[in-house]
Amino acid sequence: MLKLKRVEIQGFKSFADRQELRFNGVGVVAVVGPNGCGKSNLSDAISWVLGEQSAKSLRGARMEDVIFAGTRDRKPLGMASVTMTLFDPTYEVELPELEPQQPVEGESVAVTAAKVQHAQKERRQEITITRRLFRSGESEYLIDGKGARLRDIQDIFMGTGLGPESYAIIEQGRIGQILSSRPQDRRAVIEEAAGVTRFKTKRRLAEAKLEGAKQNLTRVFDILEEVTRQVNSLKRQAAKAERYVKLREEMVTHLRLLIAGKYKTLEREASKAAIEMSQAAAGVETLGVELRAKETEYTALQQTCYQHEEALTAQRKELADLQIEAERARGRLNSQSQQVASIEQRLAGGENESQEVEKRLAAMESDVERHRASLEEASANANEARERLRVKSEEREQFQGQLRMREQGLEAARQQVLRLLGEASAMRNQLAQIEEYLASNERDRVRARKEEEGATADLARLAEQRRQLQEKLGDRQMQLESLADQKKRVEEELLGRKSTLGEARRQLEAVRAELSRIKARKDSLEEILSHRAYTTESVKRLFTAVERGQTSALQPSGVLADFIEVDPAFEKAAEEFLHDELEYVVVKDWPQADSGIDLMRGDLDGRATFLVHPELEDKYATALAMEPPIGPETGIIGRLSNYLKMTNGLTKAPAELLPRLSRCYLVQDRAAAQRLAGQYPDIFFLLPDGVCYHGHAVSGGRKTGSGPLGLKRELRELTGTVATKQKAFEGTQQQIGELEHAIQTLSEEQEKVRQQQQREEKEALALDHEMRRMGEETNRSNARLSAARLELERLERDAQRSAGQKDEKQRLHAEKEEARSLKEKELASGRGELDLLRESVQQVSEEHSVLRVQLASLDERQRSEAAARQRVESQIGELTRRRGAIAAELERLGLDRTRLLNDNMELDSMLNLLQEEILRLQGLVQLAAQQDHEMRARLAAFDDALKAHRIAVQEAQDRRTQIEIHLVQLQSDLKHLDENARKDLGALASELVRDDDPELDELALGELDAKYTEVRGRIEALGAVNPQALEEFTEAELRFNFLNTQRQDLLDSIRDTEKAIQEIDVESRKRFAEAFEAVNAQFKEIFKTLFGGGHAEMRLTDETNIGECGIEMIASPPGKRLQNVLLLSGGEKSLTAMALLMAIFKYQPSPFCILDEVDAPLDEANTGRLARLLKEMASETQFIVITHAKRTMEAAQTLYGVTMEEPGVSKLVSVKFHPHNQVPPLSPESRRTPAMAQ
């Protein structure tokens, strides 16, 4: 059997610091201390670590109340922890499987240890149980330092007296509960001793398992019925699925050949475009090399210009430095002249101050002599005052001695008054106790009357409830018929919704295919526009450098093509006319434009035009001196700028941003354009097909592919189309979602109806069980009525006896009060004499204080005169030092004045030299500026020649760009083909190409597409097909067979579980009967021991039902007849309860037993009997007794004292008793530390 070894407490209630109690496993340990110091907190701590879940049982409102709440000098703690260690080398401790613990009511439980796979049995000498609670609400249980559940701890102690129905922890209130509890509650204590609690737990688990098995069986029957219908339906679907599989294979074959043929065609075109792209890139590279050579020459010339400019800048800087130095010299000359004037003023002031110091020194020497005479007079007066003070001190000491003797006499008289006052107070306390008992007696009588009334009301209530239950049974049958009709209606509606859902899913698939094709084209356009494939290489490199972060000063908003929208009819004309302008890089301000130019000149090696984004001023717009009339008669459609619109933040009119637009008109035909070009040679006339007439020049040609404006327009149209298709797709999805939701709702409703049927059937059975239970409750109510009437008779007798005791105590209290009054009068007379003597002492003390003040005044005067003399002498020394300092300062100022006059003469000479040098440099700067102007003119001429070569490079880049756009479109088509292949066939298009596939031209591809469409139409004609019908049919058959097997397994499990419950019931009744007989026999013997005679026994309320009946207790103390235990007095109840508990311990000892002030109601004789019984039984059980009784303390081998030296904080001190000749001395260390003395 386990034995208690150690309990460690920290942060629990008033035990803020770590405290430890050690035990030997046997014997008696007494815990003593004054009221309110925290003794019962030890009992609460042990109950708590064993798993107590009721905060009320722990004397708290919430479980958080067990954590130390702080005091005036201490902060609250964040955790309470209690650890209990038990040991037994001969016991095999079964450690249950440790799983994550579940939250218990009022606490949040966290497990920190890993799971243990299987239950382990270890032969151990110790087991440690720990429980912790954190202020955050989390708690944890530990077994040997590993996380555990509450149930694991309860399993260890179940059947040992420390389980949920523990009889090993008894406080004063629990004594009354044992005797006044219901017979069924008394039975639980005997079951705990007999070990039946463990069997009951197993029975509850078996019943839960049985109930679950029955519910599962019901569900299996329902599912089996549904699966049978599915098997019949899937047989018809399987044939249709076979036809679908064959057509599907044919369609996949056609689709593979179609995709493979398209892939080969696109691949050939892409390869051809790649070769053309390489050739165009080579041409661009050749022209680029030539351009870079010319730009290198231009750069060299530009560098020479820069060097000349730097030399000019250096000369200008040197000229500015000389001018600054000349100005600085003039300022210094003026400043030093002012310093000379200031020094002359300071010299005159120093001479005046020297004369004043001489006068003050003469006056202070006379003050020193006067202070010396005053000091001698003050010393003589102070000596005389000290003598008078000594005489007065002796007189005061004499009076104070007489006062102390008189006060000691009065103190003795006061002690006599206090003793009488204490005796009177004790009488008052006894009276209060009697009155409290009478009030308690009255409350008990009220409670007994209420119990009588409640039993009568329960009998009437039970009769009415039986009538109502009969009516409910009839209602249940009608509800079951209604549920059967509702179930049939739901099943029919569910089949219709599933058919509609299949059609909606086919529509969704068609919309998804169309949306995928449009999105692929849209993605291709977005990729072309995002990479700006239509721009020159220089612009592409510029945006690539910005994206890579090569520059932070440049953040372009895009190219101008990103900001322009044009009427589709004139889209081609606008792209031809604004070919260069569309590639302008749009920036937000001029500094960014400058950064872009620097970047193009440096790392990127190219050219670009930058357009400033903000609103441009009107000065950039140009007005025509003469504009042609617009109208059909002239053939002019209108200005090109009127058909353009600026977007994305550019709000100015196009003509203001691009001045060339103000001179461009759209015309109807070539004849009109030729005629107008001759009349207006400065204006551009543009045909809708892009041909442009300007003076005697005409430009045009065929442009391959779409330009940026066309690509953007197509992207906008596709975006709208995608939104429309997406809306249709989402609408179909929403319809499918609604149908699925409706099907889910109907399925849930079907399940609810089935569950409701089960609930109604169960409630009918429950109503029948409730009828039987009410019959049993009626019998119990009759027994309660009889017990309440007997209790009322006993309480009336006790009240009469207590009233007589109250009168006797009142008489004794009056006598004590009279004696105390006489003593208090004598004490008052002595206090008057004491007051007169105190007045004399006070008068002498006041005279003594006056003399001390006079002496202090004279001493202060003496110190003051001495300090004044010292202060004057110090001032004389200071003035002497000041006189020398003034003379030194006058000498220094004279030297400074001479030095400054010499410096001023040198500055005048230096200013003349600087002025000559400034005139020479000004001539050099003018000559260098003229040379710089000539060099810049040469640089501008070279720049014009360089621009012509750049135009040639740009044309080659345009050709390469068109090829690149075509290549990107082909790659996008290949990507879209891959996506379709992956979606339809689950593989990439390249993976579908085979070596033996025939070469297909456009005509062959069209025929193959027609065959594919025909087979797909035949598949759609089949209607809704379940492709998995064959597999589902096979699975349904397997499931049908599996459910049949499960049904039989459940039937076998129910039969085995019912058999196990019957065996548990037989074993429980057997163990309970044995325990009841053994405990009853011990109860009779121990009752006689504690009462010195008498008779007591336990009786079963129904001996024919030993498995469920309660236990009644009958007791007859010596000299009294046999009666119910509720009629015993308080002390008799306590002894009777202790007799029952000790009888249980005789039969089934517990590892330990805690008795919390159970001896409080006992007199000294009964306390002695109880103490002797504890000593006899201490060889088997460790008793921990919280007590105030001396006789109980005498029976203990170890005393633990609970103190509260610091308010609100409990501490332990301990003493272990030895034979009188072996008592060891208490070491200083043990006196300092509240621990067990070993």
Q: Which two tokens stand for residue 683?
A: 């204006």
- Which strands, in side-by-side order, build the sheet including 27-32? 169-171, 1152-1156, 1182-1186, 27-32, 1198-1206, 1209-1216
Q: How far is CA 368 from CA 259, 359, 364, in A?
A: 127, 16, 7
| DSSP-assigned letters across all residues of 393-409 | HHHHHHHHHHHHHHHHH
Least confident of 143-157, 404-418, 563-577, 1210-1224: 1210-1224
Question: Given this model, what pLDDT does residue 799 score?
Answer: 77
Question: Given this model, what pLDDT does residue 273 score?
Answer: 84
| Report field, pTM of the whole predicted structure over 0.85 | no
Residue with the larger pLDDT of the pair 611 and 4: 4
Least confident of 71-80, 520-529, 597-606, 1091-1100: 520-529
**Does 972 have pLDDT greater than 60?**
yes
Give the number of other CB atoms < 10 A from CB of residue 1143.
23
Mean pLDDT over each residue of the chain, to the nearest integer:
76
Portion of the chain with pLDDT greater than 70, in percent: 84
**Does 96 have pLDDT greater than 50?**
no
Question: Given this model, what pLDDT does residue 141 score?
Answer: 92
**Does 705 have pLDDT greater than 60?**
no
Q: How confident is the model at residue 534 (pLDDT cuts 50, 70, 90)?
A: low
Least confident of 89-103, 485-499, 1022-1036, 1213-1227: 89-103
**Does 142 have pLDDT greater than 90?**
yes
Question: Which of 495, 489, 476, 490 shows the shortest CA–CA distance to 756?
Answer: 476
Question: Given this model, what pLDDT does residue 130 score?
Answer: 95
Please write the tens of the pLDDT for every residue from 853-902.
777 777 777 777 777 777 777 877 787 877 778 788 877 877 887 887 88
Please write the tens of the pLDDT for every residue from 630-655.
777 777 888 777 777 767 666 555 65
Average pLDDT over residues 331-344: 79
User: Where do we find the tokens 């689709």?
Assistant: 255
**Does 1172 have pLDDT greater than 80?**
yes
Question: Given this model, what pLDDT does residue 655 score?
Answer: 57
| DSSP-assigned letters across all residues of 58-122 | TT-SSGGGGB----SSSPPPSEEEEEEEEE-TT--EEE----PPPPPTT-EE---SPPPSS-EEE
**Does 83 have pLDDT greater than 90?**
yes
Average pLDDT over residues 363-376: 74
Question: Given this model, what pLDDT does residue 62 score?
Answer: 87
Average pLDDT over residues 268-293: 82
- 3-class DSSP state for residue 721? helix
**Does 161 have pLDDT greater than 70?**
no
Portion of the chain with pLDDT greater than 90, in percent: 3
**Does 619 have pLDDT greater than 80?**
no
- As a whole number of angstroms, the distance between CA 7 and CA 1194 comes to 23
Helix axes 708-985, 196-531, angle to 10 degrees: 140
Check: CB of residue 62 under 8 Å from CB of residue 106: yes
Helix axes 590-599, 537-547, angle to 10 degrees: 110
Quick one: 1193 exposed, middle or buried, by C-beta within 10 A (0-12, 13-18, 19+)? Answer: middle
Question: Given this model, what pLDDT does residue 105 score?
Answer: 38
Please write the tens of the pLDDT for every residue from 1185-1199.
999 888 888 888 888
Q: Name, in order, each residue with C-beta under 8 angstroms of 1024's C-beta and a sequence gap of 6 or more.
A: 499, 502, 503, 506
Helix axes 183-194, 1130-1147, angle to 10 degrees: 30
- As a whole number of angstroms, the distance between CA 50 and CA 1154 comes to 13
Q: How confident is the model at residue 219 (pLDDT cuts 50, 70, 90)?
A: confident
Question: Given this model, what pLDDT does residue 1237 score?
Answer: 31
Q: Which of 969-973, 1102-1106, 1203-1207 has maximum average pLDDT?
A: 1203-1207
Average pLDDT over residues 1043-1059: 83
| DSSP-assigned letters across all residues of 821-843 | HHHHHHHHHHHHHHHHHHHHHHH
Q: How confident is the model at residue 953 (pLDDT cuts 50, 70, 90)?
A: confident
Average pLDDT over residues 442-457: 80
Check: CB of residue 427 under 8 Å from CB of residue 813: yes
- As a whole number of angstroms, the distance between CA 96 and CA 1052 comes to 28
Main-chain dihedrals φ then ψ at residue 1183, nearest 5 degrees: -100, 130
* Per-residue three-class SS string for 838-861: HHHHHHHHHHHHHHHHHHHHHHHH
Question: Given this model, what pLDDT does residue 557 score?
Answer: 76
Average pLDDT over residues 786-810: 76
- As a whole number of angstroms, the distance between CA 978 and CA 1164 comes to 102
Question: Which of 708, 27, 848 shows the shortest CA–CA distance to 398?
Answer: 848
Question: Given this model, what pLDDT does residue 1105 score?
Answer: 79
Question: Given this model, what pLDDT does residue 48 score?
Answer: 92
